[in-house]
Structure 1
Amino acid sequence: MPLMQIIVIAIIQGITEFLPISSSGHLAITSDITGWADQGLAMDVMLHVGSLFAIIVYFWRDVLNLAIGGLNLLRGRLTPHGKLALYIVLATIPAVIFGLILKKTGALDALRADDLLKLQVVGWAAIVYGALLYLADRFGPSEKAMENMTLPPALVIGLAQMLALIPGTSRSGITMTAARFLGFSRPEAARFSFLLGMPAIAGAGLLTIKDAIETGTTMSSDVWLGAGLSFLASFAAIAFLMALVKRISFLPFVLYRFALGIFLLAMAYGYVSL
């Protein structure tokens, strides 16, 4: 794989995985502009591994507390961190079930095989879910912190995460939208979204690893480079977003999603050609 392709897709994936702007939309544009071939299963796995480690490193205190709480839970001792760990696990289940259904039915594979339909879906999703993010951020209260999390809101955010399987939705964007509608502050909505993303990203990575093993795919030096670049880009994106949402609203990301969606739809309906 060309070095430039590794660098570009790793940076795009790492940044857009965590900013609420849709990684699939940007990868679709990149593919159309460059004409690059698909990066393959092994690269997909390692890009997600890099993103996962970025969450673990940035939120290492939260991750450590969740791990300790989970161990205490297994020993029959319920602590606040143990409850939060349980909520994250339970909130992940809807997306796992929905993902398995889509995988078994081949719905997502069919969508990926139709470039025109994919552009249309990603474009409309970028606009519609951008509008929802604006409404949630504009009118949602901001009095709750992650320590106030209970099972019902965790499950609602988990159900929202299912929609992230639709290209163009943005996993971080839809979970932050749900959290804002439920009254969590911007920093706390982002924090819970990233922690909730750990099992989701890990699960997607394990499924891809399984597919890679079944197809006999090997791990070359290219994929390790991609993982490293994805880690750096992901860490920078997380740090940038966490700093930004303490000062301003999600409006810049909403406007960006609108622009992205309009551009993709213009491409899909033949008004713009690359």
Structure 2
Amino acid sequence: MDLFQTLVLALVQGLTEFLPISSAAHLILVPELTHWDDQGLSFDVATHVGTLAAVMIYFRRELRRMTMEWLGSLRGRGLTPDAKLAWAVVFGTIPAALSGLLFHDVISNHLRSAQVIAMTTIGFAVLLLFADTTGRRVRDEHGVNWKDVLVIGVAQALALIPGTSRSGITITAALLMGFTRQAAARYSFLLSIPIIALAGGYETLGLVREPEEGVRWGLITLGALVSGVSAYLCIHFFLKLLARISMLPFVIYRLLLGMFLLFLFR
């Protein structure tokens, strides 16, 4: 892996982790078009660390308040809006975590084909458009209730199917539950924190069991930095953009991407 490959793959990871456009589709498309060798597990771990750091730094004030209020709720102080949101993140993570443990091998062995990714990229684009045009868009993330947690949590579990897009499906579910676009994205990003941490931890265990030889630590560190900075900027500008536009540009992009994958792998 050279410098250019490191920069491209880190940017792809950082941007597609949080935009509703399917990271799996891009991480298949880029190597296919470039004929690059696999970047290795250590690089995947590094980029996960970068994106995790980005979302935690961006929401550091919210996370501080949520943590303090969550601890207060454990001491019997009641459920404030921030405590409720913290519990919603905790319980909303459970469906995806359990599904990952139960179905990881099945999904890896049977659902990682380009055709599956193309079809899910297209299918969930249509669902995102439906949610964006029919959702009431009147609620914020602090009004989350247990029905929201269940629906959005189960939706996040569906993101294990390649091409779905974790951010895309959770934003879709939140829009269907009446969240505003920005609130749907904020809750989706907060919900990503434990999932990215769990995924990075799982990959790290694999790295510990089978250490890679010849790791170029300079490039690995650069990959983590680039993925982190690009993810942070992506979160910032995406949230700003949602104040002015609908999800239509991302829907169109997904439809074109899915059709291109179908053409490429026909």
Give TM-score scaled by structure 1 length: 0.92
How is 1:153-232 mapped onto 2 (pairs within 5 angstroms)?
Answer: 153-217=148-212, 220-232=217-229
Displacement over 6 Å in runs of 4+: none
Distance 1:214 1:77 in 2: 43
Distance 2:170 2:163 in 1: 14
Paired residues of 1:87 and 1:155 also in contact (CA < 8 A): no
Q: How far does the alpha carbon of each residue in 1:216-250 deviate from its partner, in whole angstroms, 9 at most, with x for none?
A: 24762221111000001101111121011111100
Distance 1:66 1:111 in 2: 39
Paired residues of 1:176 and 1:190 also in contact (CA < 8 A): yes
Q: How far does the alpha carbon of each residue in 1:149-205 deviate from its partner, in whole angstroms, 9 at most, with x for none?
A: 111111210000011111111000000000000000000000000000000111111
Stretch moving more, 188-197 or 74-83? 74-83
How is 1:90-129 mapped onto 2 (pairs within 5 angstroms)?
Answer: 90-103=91-104, 106-111=105-110, 118-129=113-124
Distance 2:84 2:134 in 1: 29
Equivalent position amino acid for 2:125 in 1: G
Distance 1:139 1:145 in 2: 17
Equivalent position amino acid for 1:88 in 2: V
Which residue of 1 is the match for residue 3 of structure 2? Answer: 3
Q: CA deviation at 1:108?
A: 2.9
Q: CA deviation at 1:84?
A: 1.5
2:230 corresponds to 1:233: yes
Paired residues of 2:84 and 2:142 also in contact (CA < 8 A): no
Equivalent position amino acid for 1:216 in 2: P
| Cα RMSD, aligned residues only | 1.4
Distance 1:248 1:15 in 2: 18
2:264 corresponds to 1:263: no
Q: CA deviation at 1:111?
A: 3.9
Distance 2:60 2:110 in 1: 37
Distance 2:102 2:212 in 1: 25
Identity value in percent: 43
Which residue of 2 is the match for residue 248 of structure 1? Answer: 245
Which residue of 1 is the match for residue 129 of structure 2? Answer: 134
Give TM-score scaled by structure 2 length: 0.95
Distance 1:109 1:160 in 2: 19
2:54 corresponds to 1:20: no
Unaligned ranges ≥5, structure 2: none
